[in-house]
Amino acid sequence: MIRVGFLLGFPVEYKGGINYIKNLLYAIHKFHSKEIEIYLFVPSDLEEEYITLFKDYAKIIHTKIIQRKTFPWLISKVSQKFFNFDPLTYRLLKKYKINVISHSNYVFPGDSIKTINWIPDFQYLHYPKLWTHKQLKLEHRLHKEWILKSDRIVVSSFDALKDLVSVYPKDESKVSVLHFVSQPDILKYDEPIDISQYVKGKYFYLPNQFWEHKNHLIVFKAVKELKKKGLDVKVLTSGLMNDFRSKNQHVEMLRKYVEDHQLTENVSFLGLIPYKDVLQLIKEAVAVINPSFFEGWSSTVEESKSIGKSIILSNINVHQEQDPSNAFYFDPTDKIELASIMEDLWLNADQMNLQNRKEQLLINLDNRTRAFADDYKAIIDQLLPS
């Protein structure tokens, strides 16, 4: 039995990361629990809702080493920075006889514990102006260190692989593409979740974080165009309303645009809402919209794909690589093209249902999840051949 450890050291507000880890652990547990034993190391003060999220798929180990602003956490960080070695984490992993440490932003000196690190995307190569000089320098340094010192690097798309190779061409042999799959439990629910607190009637749904590259503005401009034609569509947005790179100036700009153009009845900002509600909103929407200029591998697309929901997508490479069957593509700078797609879907919404029955969706999801788990197991087998 191979013991694989994960350090849950990032803020829980990073919902994309939380869901990614949950989906990966679920897939491993479902299809390879006889070969891989999962240990999830979490902060000592992690809320119970997250323990509940993971406990069926991993052995949960609480530790202050990754609990921010504790003394062990500080010692760990100082040791890594100045000595390039973290004795506290080393002892922790050795105590539980971990063979591989995965997706943890951690590099291990020596060969006794193999390391797999995940780089979601290389956005800063395409949109450096969205980053400060300090942030860019940090991203470059971290990625360089992981790529140099990890036994295996995982990226979520061939598009991201192309970016990595453009900067680190000599390291392609240690990189694996691992397409993640979202597990929307809503497919298993017999009773729908009540979303009347959020909306009445038809709506489009845009469940993205409020970073500038997510391109919410083009959707609001399309809504304005439709309103000029006399069509009052409704768009719900959800996600953490925080863009640290612009010190939230971008978020305020979006709010102001909606107010200045009298779109407050057409656009709703729900903020951060429970994940189960996100899935229900996806399921009942006319269509989901992802207008992003850049993605690593969109969880919004994966969730919509798993649920069988129509989705309106910017025509970027990675969206086309994800290839959802119910997709409508548009130029992310063209509000008229987007408005036309939205108009057609809105006017024909009453005729639209999920294209597949629930049973077929579950079969499709199971097949995709097995491929996800098998691809991860193949990476483990390469690192630890029997």
Residue-wise pLDDT tens digits, 147-182: 999 999 999 999 999 999 999 999 999 999 999 999
What gap in Å lies between CA 260 and CA 251, rounded to an integer? 14
* pLDDT for res 130: 85
The token pair that represents 84 in the structure block: 């390039």
Query: Virtual CA dihedral for 61, 66, 69, 70, nearest 10 degrees?
Result: 50
The token pair that represents 237 in the structure block: 């947005």
| pLDDT-above-90 percentage for the chain | 74
**Is the domain of 13 the same as that of 134?**
yes
Domain-embedded: residue 298:
yes
* pLDDT for res 188: 65
Per-residue pLDDT at 109 exceeds 80? no
**Region 254-266 average pLDDT:** 97
- Mean per-residue pLDDT of the chain: 91
Is the separation of the CB atoms in 185 and 275 below 8 Å? Answer: no
Per-residue pLDDT at 312 exceeds 60? yes
Domain total in the chain: 2
**Is the domain of 74 the same as that of 21?**
yes
Per-residue pLDDT at 232 exceeds 60? yes
Domain-embedded: residue 17:
yes
**Is the domain of 136 the same as that of 202?**
no
Range of the domain at 149: 2-182+366-383
* pLDDT for res 359: 81
pTM of the model: 0.89
What gap in Å lies between CA 42 and CA 47, rounded to an integer? 10
**Region 108-119 average pLDDT:** 88
User: Is residue 353 very low, low, confident or very high in pLDDT (cuts 50, 70, 90)?
Assistant: low
Domain-embedded: residue 360:
no
Domain-embedded: residue 361:
no
Among residues 269, 239, 255, 297, which one has the least CA distance to residue 23?
297
